[in-house]
Chains A and B, each alone.
Chain A
Amino acid sequence: MAEIVAERLGKRFDGGARPVEALTDFTLKVRQGEFCCLVGPSGCGKTTFLRILARLETPSGGTLEVRVPDPTRPATAVVFQETSIFPWMTVIENAAFGLEARGVPRKERERRVLPLLRKVGLGEFTDAYPHQLSGGMKQRVSIARAFVTEPQILLMDEPFAALDAQNRTLMQDELVALWEEQRTTVVFITHSLEEALLLGDRVVAMTARPGRVKQVVDVPFPRPRNTRSVRASETYGRLVVDLWNILEEEVMRARAGEQGI
């Protein structure tokens, strides 16, 4: 079963003028098939944790176990925080890059990518270059690129942060629908408490830097989930306030840290 066990994980960046302690004593277990949302003040180490999971950084302390059952499928795929699709590739080449990297032949790549591109509303844009797309469309390419490799763990770093509110709502619905078909393990970073509650099975609230897990909130809404009725529910409003109560202090501390020291 694909699961993540992080035990007292630490990460120090020594490169700059002063060493930065991004994570300390970060302990978290993510279950197989779970949609786990990560929230916390800016700079608290969310992306750092994700990058460690993707093996783009190595932790400087603690242990990390990523158990993936299927050696034929990639362990992780990342949807990055910033625009990360290649400007020099068309939509379809971009979306198929993960498969290309795994040596899947072109015909097969296209066969697998096309239905997914249609599903995310890019069926008409397969041969377009990124500069011809809107921000939301670019992000959908990036999501398709990750999904199509059928990773055992999907890592998403604020994928909808750059979108306007309406498009964001649409994309959240699309993601819920897409995910409920596959039920891969997801670690999803967001700044939006609302988004975390709409999408996640659990919401992990982190402290200000150096980031630790402050509290984990279980999300009670059933699957398959209808985001509309979740939004309309009373529990949702209460949970948003609860989460904010947990995070407010940390956000203040992070802000003081930025200004003062």
Chain B
Amino acid sequence: MKGRERLLSILSPLLLIAAWELTVRLGLVDGRFIAAPSLILVALWNMSVSGELARDVGVSLWRIAAGFAIGVVPAVLLGLWMGLSRSVRAVFDPLIAAVYPIPKIAILPLLMVFFGIGESSKIAVVAISAFFPVVINTYTGVANVDRVYLDVAQSFGASRALVFRRVVFPGALPVIFAGIRLALGVCLIVIVSAEFVAARSGIGFLIWSSWEMLLIDKMFVGLLVIAVIGTLLTIGLREIQRRAIPWRNE
């Protein structure tokens, strides 16, 4: 980016925030529903000092991390297996096709029947949400590895293990990663929604309860934090991807 462009892209959000502050201060919008940026900052400070924010963020991150791990790992394994074996695919394909379209948050009540109202049901709903995009991308990734690469491997007499390790898996990896990125977005939505309705902690709970009590500045802190978390996780994932798939670097 040229200096001028960089300046503009730093300036524009600052201008927006200033305009926002001004409209609230001048009473152009109702301060009960839209908190001024300065008040949000104050609330952010207070909540950080009191430890309230760290607790909610920590709980949500834990649910995302645990659910993500529990969902993604078996999804990749099953996806690989389905991609490699037509019969395994024939078994699981219809099941996945049937369950995939259900918005995962809709089965939260059912999960609470099985897992109770504690942490397990939230982690389970995240895991299930992460599972589907990853399993689908993994097996499509494996199935769509270009034929010519398999021909090359076969023509050189590569063993099945080598074909998998050196051809099929790396060939599918970009598509698997696309699935993981998709899953991350879905998981953020799902955890916040789950915490809206069925939790006493977490960022979703923070946003929802602040709204109910009309603590609008705290609600905005929740929004700010979830946006930051989403951005950081996306950047982190992109960095992992950059290292795992060096051949895609332009």
Q: Which residue numbers of A lie inside 8 Å of B, CB to CB?
A: 51, 54-56, 74, 76-78, 80, 82, 84, 86-89, 97-98, 100-102, 129-131, 149
Contacts and interface: CB of A to CB of B under 8 A. Distances in A.
Contacts of B166: 86, 89, 97, 100
Interface of B: 148-149, 151-159, 162, 166-167, 170-171, 173, 245-250
Contacts of B245: 88
Given A74-B157, A87-B247, A102-B157, A80 B171 contact: no
B110 to A, nearest CB: 41
Given A98-B156, A101-B159, A84 B148 contact: yes
A84 B158 contact: no
5 pairs of A and B residues whose beta carbons are closest in the complex: A101-B158, A88-B170, A101-B156, A129-B247, A98-B156
B163 to A, nearest CB: 9
Main secondary structure of the interface of B (DSSP, over half): helix
B170 A86 contact: yes
Contacts of A77: 155-156
A116 to B, nearest CB: 16
A86 B167 contact: yes
A111 B159 CA distance: 23
Contacts of B151: 51, 56, 78, 80, 84
A189 B30 CA distance: 77
A80 B157 contact: no
Contact of B154 (A56, A86, A102): A56
B155 A56 contact: yes
A87 B149 CA distance: 10
Contacts of A82: 148
Of A86, A89, A102, A149, the most chain B CB neighbours within 10 A belong to: A86
Given A86-B167, A88-B247, A129-B247, A101 B148 contact: no
B156 A74 contact: yes
25 contacts: A55-B155, A76-B155, A77-B155, A77-B156, A78-B152, A80-B148, A84-B151, A84-B152, A86-B167, A87-B247, A88-B171, A88-B173, A89-B170, A89-B247, A97-B152, A97-B158, A98-B156, A100-B166, A101-B158, A101-B159, A129-B246, A129-B249, A130-B247, A131-B247, A131-B250
Nearest to B152: A84
Contacts of B148: 80, 82, 84
Nearest to A81: B148
Contacts of A131: 247-248, 250
B29 to A, nearest CB: 51
Residue picked from B148, B245, B246, B247, most chain A C-beta under 10 Å: B247
- The residue in B156, B159, B170 that gathers the most chain A C-beta atoms within 10 A of its C-beta is B156
A54 B155 contact: yes
Nearest to B159: A101
Contacts of B173: 88
A129 B154 CA distance: 22
A76 B248 CA distance: 31
Contacts of A130: 247
A130 B248 CA distance: 10
B149 A100 contact: no
A89 B156 CA distance: 16
A157 to B, nearest CB: 11
Given A86-B167, A101-B157, A80 B152 contact: yes
A109 to B, nearest CB: 13
Contact of A101 (B162, B246, B249, B250): B162
Nearest to B169: A88
Nearest to A51: B151
Contacts of B171: 86, 88
Contacts of B158: 97, 100-101
B170 A102 contact: no
Contacts of A149: 156
B241 to A, nearest CB: 13
